[in-house]
Amino acid sequence: MSAPKPRANLADVPAYVPGKPSQPGSFKLSSNENPHPPLPEMVAAAVAAIESMNRYPDMGATAMYQALAEYLDVEVDRLASGTGSVGVLYHLLQAFCDPGDEVVYAWRSFEAYPIAATVSAATSVQVPLTPEGGHDFAAMAAAVTERTKVVLVCTPNNPTGNAVTHTQVAEFLTQVPEHVVVVLDEAYREFVRMDDPLDALALAATHDNVVVMRTLAKAYGLAGLRVGYMVAHPDVAAAVRACALPFGVSHVAQVAAIAALNAAPELMRQVDAIAAERDRVLVALREQGWQVPPAQGNFVWFGIGDQAMEFAAAAEAAGIVVRPFAGDGVRVSIGEPEANDRLLRLAAGFREASL
């Protein structure tokens, strides 16, 4: 006897490696979370919402969509939400890809992309990053075929940290056929401090094939409650909502999301502080001699190849938990100043020992 066999391609689903939980006395810098505890008004809203946990959430997530529409200044029918923006991505691939259709994205990028593509029975087409860790848009445009349904652009790119410019994306859109969905994954947009930053909503307003994907997990501090959303043409948004899990975003999560949007000015002050810490870390690492890509998210990237696991082990011994990608590099989230100082001490020591 053997158990019924699932779809054969599921054997190819890469495992998602979650950031390790931190031990007592160590800092968790492995999942790009906001290190600040949630604001009291967010906690109060979520706690109050718990009182009605015997009821299903609002199926239409009406209040949350209304709050998002006002916050973003877009029409409600251009929105779709899900359990994190990864949930939205799953629904989008389900809505647009038949088996074997192609999803083009840079690599290395967000590790959820190959998983989501495979689960959706789509075929991943991975286009290598430039040596500096940025998107190679010419190569990505060339990788689009008749089977391509979706292109994913992660900016800032997880894990390398490079962000694309508005000019680059606007130019790229002229190279991609209009029937291909172009997802701009802006999970870390709040941390971007650069010239010519991407204005993804403006591109979505003028291009019917552009999808702006965002999350409340990072800057807004709701990683544990799973809320993400997208903004797109109303027909695209409707197709994604049609694929969404009924009642996917819990009532507590919806209420906390509204509270987070209301608290945006305070949360953006936290983001300012994190971005300043990131810049401090980046400057210090470069002074130590590290070649770190221009970090625009709340993390930095050490492209140290074979030494990734060794670095991660040294980090753990130094009281910080980082995210290694075996054979490729190490991503380290920006955390509390003390955690960042530990990283700088570790990086200096590691460089000295391995030179």
Ligand X SMILES: *Cc1c(COP(=O)(O)O)cnc(C)c1O
Under the rule (CB under 6 A), what is the footprint of ligand X?
32, 84-86, 110, 154, 158, 185, 187, 215, 217-218, 223, 228
Using a 10 angstrom Cβ sphere, with 0-12 exposed, 13-18 middle and 19 or more buried, the burial of residue 328 is middle
Using a 10 angstrom Cβ sphere, with 0-12 exposed, 13-18 middle and 19 or more buried, the burial of residue 300 is buried
Measured distance CA(109)–CA(129) in Å, rounded: 9
- Nearest-approach distance from CB 138 to ligand X, in angstroms: 22
Q: Which is nearer to ligand X, 108 or 314 (CB)?
A: 108
Q: Which is nearer to ligand X, 228 or 350 (CB)?
A: 228
Measured distance CA(170)–CA(190) in Å, rounded: 20
- Nearest-approach distance from CB 177 to ligand X, in angstroms: 24
What are the structure tokens assigned to 201, written together?
Answer: 């909503």
Which residue's CB atom is positioned nearest to ligand X?
84
Q: Which is nearer to ligand X, 105 or 350 (CB)?
A: 105
- Nearest-approach distance from CB 349 to ligand X, in angstroms: 28
- Nearest-approach distance from CB 134 to ligand X, in angstroms: 15
- Nearest-approach distance from CB 223 to ligand X, in angstroms: 6
- Nearest-approach distance from CB 96 to ligand X, in angstroms: 18
Query: Position 354: which residue type?
Result: S
Q: Which is nearer to ligand X, 219 or 314 (CB)?
A: 219
Q: Which is nearer to ligand X, 194 or 344 (CB)?
A: 194
Q: Which is nearer to ligand X, 118 or 215 (CB)?
A: 215
- Nearest-approach distance from CB 43 to ligand X, in angstroms: 19
Are the C-beta atoms of 275 and 193 separated by less than 8 Å? yes
Q: Which is nearer to ligand X, 85 or 123 (CB)?
A: 85
- Nearest-approach distance from CB 226 to ligand X, in angstroms: 6
Measured distance CA(210)–CA(221) in Å, rounded: 26
Q: Which is nearer to ligand X, 32 or 254 (CB)?
A: 32
Q: Which is nearer to ligand X, 110 or 350 (CB)?
A: 110
**267: CB partners within 8 A, 6+ apart:** 34, 39, 219, 220, 221, 260
- Nearest-approach distance from CB 111 to ligand X, in angstroms: 9
Measured distance CA(194)–CA(338) in Å, rounded: 26
**Other beta carbons within 10 Å of 24:** 4
